[in-house]
A and B are shown apart, each in its own frame.
Chain A
Amino acid sequence: MDHIALRLTNCFQTVFPNLPEGEIAAASQSNVAAWDSVAAITLVNVIEEEFGIEMDLDRLADLDSFSRIQEYLTREMQLS
């Protein structure tokens, strides 16, 4: 697991404490019941705190799975 994935996993564990660690990499809004609109905003803010970035809330709908967020973060970190 790369460094970004590891830190993102920690964020998911913070926001979704009942999600087993083994299921985090495959987590998406469609298979995690607790991933509602409030959790989505909380997740974004926790990721912002963890990575020291400002995420685009307008793109919240696109960031609907662990893998998509990981891709987004990888791009953002490369740009910075």
Chain B
Amino acid sequence: MKLTEALKILQQAPENASPFLVSLACGYTPLHVATFLGAHLQQRLADRRATVSTGVYGDVPGTLAGLKDAATHCVAAALEWADLDPRLGYREAGNWGIKALPGIISGAVAQLDRIAAAIEEIRLEIPVAVCLPSLPLPPIFHTAGWQAAEAQLALNRKVAEFAFRIGRRCSLVNSARLAEDSPPAARYDLKSDLLTGLPYTLPHAAAVASALSRLLAPLPPKKGLITDLDDTLWRGVAGEIGPENVSWDLASHSQLHGLYQKLLAALAEEGVLIGAASKNDPAVVERVFEREDLLLRPDRIFPLEIHWGAKSGSIERILRTWNISADDVVFVDDSAMELAEAANAHPGIECILFPANDYAGAYALLRRLRDLFGKPRVSEEDAIRLESIRQSAPFQAAYGEATSETFLEEAEAVVTFDFPAGDDPRALELVNKTNQFNLNGIRYGEADWKNRRTRPGAFLAIVSYRDKFGPLGKIAVLDGRQENDNLFIDTWVMSCRAFSRRIEHRCLEAMFERSAVQEMFFDFQPTPKNGPLQDFLASVSGRRPDAPFRLSRALFEEKRPRLYHRVTESPTSSNPWITSRSA
């Protein structure tokens, strides 16, 4: 990103949008780092207005300490060696040399400790992203530049220990990736450092800001990957050379396919849905899947679309089974034609050509997939996602059929409500990644989300589900407030895995019962993706809403179908369920 482009992005931010306040802590003159940080965040948060505030020159610990109770949505800290000891920079007159080094190291350790302590004092709900020192150290060591000096190694070790300590609290920029985006030799600008106090070249300022913005406003990861089989998951066409002759190993010079399998297996373990779409003979594919040396176990792939029909149709059925949109999915195939057909039928799907026999291309593919599916933490729900999708298949098949009532009745379903006194990271995760059953599509930062609990009459409900087929985990979240005899539902999301079970009806019934109100107000807004929620609301209110609306208990009970779940309450539920009675 060029500086001109960054300035224009900031100028074009929507004036009346809700502000997104970023506190930038750096010891140098923030100048263009602040501009680039604001612009990158603005690009990621198009419906907000990113505003960057900066701290005191030369005092990172002091700036961070001042953010302890600050009204900010997030904190970005861009550290440099001079923040640890001014002698590790070029602007101060302090001595370099062997005699100064012990004092520099001990001073750096003390300063790192102060910075870590200040970060740990910042309220937990405020995301903090840190970029560790990224500039080359000045020539203060006795060794030639190409030889690592003992004191330099000691400094690096202290910074690594600091990173481990604060890594529990905040997100850290990956220094190795930063080095790819901004080569170390092109980072430092002595003239700018001495004349303006900004030690970075413009490209490095942009790279640091971009890296921090990715941590502070991460894009939602993709949810599913659909893969071709022949010449993609393995080398060779199984139907031609035989299932026993397709390969994915080093000896056969087909390790690229083995690496692809290994990555898919790792992604599946992290909760990514893996499906297959292949023009093939099912019996042949089954024989390949019987091979013990397959690195991606076949039970990790669901569903399988193996036939001679169009792949767009296969993708359509896989998306329906997963109940997610094409935007959330990546399709990998070795045929550009198949990719084009899929992209044409499913706008939004990310199509990636498998680069057979192209080692650099395969390396790039592995890294790209990791970036597309990367997430900061893996939750319990991630681990059970595939199983719950498998369970959903019979529900979807039964839904709408005459037998669905019997099916639901015999499902032995249990819906559990948790009204936590605090919060649960899963709640915000669901709110920010759910599209189809989402009341209004509003996304929240951690600080905004936590602050909602302090509103008068605020409540938060987290809904879990299980039945005789197994658990779905925490699948729905409602948030809102009760004011006298009115209940306001401001946020309502439900995972697509939980559709077709009437859990949404049970949610409303529970809220009516718990609040004892006769009317609920929904802060509904139509979005391009929340059609399933609109369908549901139309079914219980008698009309398709196009704006916030109210629903009476009498009408809901008239429209509500029979519910078969047993309802329980989590032992961790708060009593009373309203988290804040007064302002």
Q: Is the CB of A46 within 8 A of B3?
A: yes
Q: Is the pair B11, A45 in contact by a Cβ cutoff of 8 Å?
A: no
Give 1 or 0 for each of B1-25: 1 = CB within 8 Å of chain A CB. 0111001100100000000000000
Contact B195 A15 (CB under 8 A): no
Which of A46, A57, A58 touches B4 (beta carbons < 8 Å)? A46
* A42 at the B interface (CB under 8 A): yes
Of all chain B residues, which has the CB nearest A44?
B196
A45 to B3, CA, bound (A): 8
Q: Distance in Å from the Cβ of A14 to the closest Cβ of chain B?
A: 5
Contact pick for B7, options A14, A38, A57, A60, CB 8 Å = A14
- Determine the chain B residues whose CB is within 8 A of the CB of A17 once the complex forms: 11
Minimum distance in angstroms from B217 CB to a CB of chain A: 24
Q: Once the chains are docked, how many angstroms separate the CA of A14 from the CA of B192?
A: 21
By the criterion CB–CB under 8 Å, are B4 and A14 in contact?
yes
Chain B stretch 22-74: residues in CB contact (< 8 A) with chain A: 31-32, 35
Residues of B within 8 A of A21 (CB): none
CA of A58 to CA of B194 in the docked complex: distance in angstroms? 11
Establish whether residues A14 and B202, one from each chain, have CB atoms under 8 Å apart when the complex forms: no
Q: Cβ of B8 and Cβ of A14 under 8 Å apart?
A: yes
Given A57-B195, A57-B196, A41-B4 contact (CB < 8 Å): no
A residues within 8 A CB of B196? 41, 57
Q: Are B191 and A42 in contact (CB under 8 A)?
A: no
Among B8, B195, B196, which residue has the most Cβ atoms of chain A within 10 A?
A: B196
* Contact between chains at A42 and B31 (CB < 8 Å): yes
In whole angstroms, how far apart are the Cα atoms of A43 and B3 in the complex? 10
The closest CB in chain B to the CB of A11 belongs to: B4
Q: Are A50's CB and B11's CB within 8 A? A: no
> Once the chains are docked, how many angstroms separate the CA of A17 from the CA of B7?
9
CB within 8 Å of B: which A17-52 residues? 17, 38, 41-42, 45-46, 49-50
- Which residues from B are CB-within-8-Å of A15? 7
Q: A49 touching B191 by the CB < 8 A rule?
A: no
User: Do B3 and A38 touch (CB < 8 A)?
Assistant: no
Q: Which residues of A lie under 8 Å from residue B2 when comparing CB positions?
A: 49
- Among B3, B11, B32, B35, the most chain A Cβ lie within 10 Å of the Cβ of B3
Contact B191 A57, beta carbon cutoff 8 Å = yes
A45 to B202, Cβ gap below 8 A? Answer: yes
Residues A42 and B35 in contact, CB atoms below 8 Å apart:
yes
In the complex, A58 Cα to B196 Cα: how many Å? 10
Q: Hey, which chain A residues are within 8 Å of B32, CB to CB?
A: 42, 45
Distance in angstroms between the alpha carbons of A55 and B529 in the assembled complex? 50
Q: Give A54 Cβ to nearest chain B Cβ, in Å.
A: 9
Q: Cβ of B31 and Cβ of A58 under 8 Å apart?
A: no
Set of chain A residues within 8 Å of B3, measured between Cβ atoms: 42, 45-46, 49
Which B residues are in CB contact (< 8 Å) with A42?
Answer: 3, 7, 31-32, 35
Q: What residues on A are CB-neighbors of B7 within 8 Å?
A: 14-15, 42, 46
Q: A50: which of B4, B31, B35 is its contact (CB, 8 Å)?
A: B4
* Complex: chain A residue closest to B197, CB-CB: A41
B14 to chain A, nearest CB (A): 15
Question: In chain B, what residue has the closest Cβ to A41?
Answer: B196
Nearest CB in chain A: distance from B241 CB, A? 56
Distance in angstroms from A17 CB to nearest chain B CB is: 5
B31 touches which of A11, A38, A57, A60 (Cβ 8 Å): A38
Instruction: Report the separation of the CA atoms of residues A17 and B195 in the bound assembly, to the nearest whole angstrom.
Output: 26
Collect the chain B residues with CB atoms within 8 Å of residue A49's CB.
2-4, 202
Kindly state the separation between the CA atoms of A60 and B196 in the bound complex, as whole angstroms. 11
Chain A residue contacts of B202, Cβ below 8 A: 45, 49
Q: How far is the CB of A9 from chain B (nearest CB, A)?
A: 13
Tell whether, in the assembled complex, residue A41 and residue B8 are in contact, meaning their CB atoms are under 8 Å apart: no
* Binary CB contact string for chain B from 195 to 209 against chain A (1 if under 8 A, 0 otherwise): 110100010000000
C-alpha spacing A17/B11, complex, angstroms: 8
Instruction: Provide the residues of chain B in CB contact with A45, threshold 8 Å.
Output: 3, 32, 202
Provide the bound-state CA to CA distance between A42 and B191, in Å. Answer: 15
- CB-CB under 8 A from B191, the residues of chain A are 57
Which of B4, B8, B35 neighbours the largest number of chain A CB atoms within 10 Å of its CB? B4
Q: In the complex, A45→B32 CA distance in Å? A: 9
Chain A residues within 8 Å of B35, by CB: 42
Residues from chain A with a CB closer than 8 A to the CB of B4 are 11, 14, 46, 49-50
Chain A residue at minimal CB-CB distance from B196: A41
Report B-chain residues with C-beta under 8 Å of the C-beta of A14. Answer: 4, 7-8, 11
CB neighbours (8 Å) of A60 from chain B are 195
List B residues 176-200 near A (Cβ within 8 Å): 191-192, 195-196, 198
Bound CA span A60–B191, Å: 13
B198 cross-chain contacts in A, Cβ below 8 A = 41
Chain A residue with Cβ nearest B191: A57
Query: Residue on A with the closest CB to B11?
Result: A17
Chain A proximity mask over B542-573: 1 for CB below 8 Å, otherwise 0 = 00000000000000000000000000000000
With A17-B11, A57-B196 known, 12 other A-B pairs at CB within 8 A are A11-B4, A14-B4, A14-B7, A14-B8, A14-B11, A41-B198, A42-B3, A42-B7, A45-B32, A49-B2, A57-B191, A57-B192
Residues of B near any A CB (own CB < 8 A): 2-4, 7-8, 11, 31-32, 35, 191-192, 195-196, 198, 202
- Name 17 interchain pairs, CB-CB below 8 A, sorted by A: A11-B4, A14-B4, A17-B11, A38-B31, A41-B196, A42-B3, A42-B31, A42-B32, A42-B35, A46-B4, A46-B7, A49-B3, A49-B202, A57-B191, A57-B192, A57-B196, A60-B195
Would you list the 3 A-B pairs with minimal beta carbon distance, nearest first?
Answer: A57-B195, A17-B11, A14-B7
**Which residues of chain A have a CB within 8 Å of any CB of chain B?**
11, 14-15, 17, 38, 41-42, 45-46, 49-50, 57-58, 60
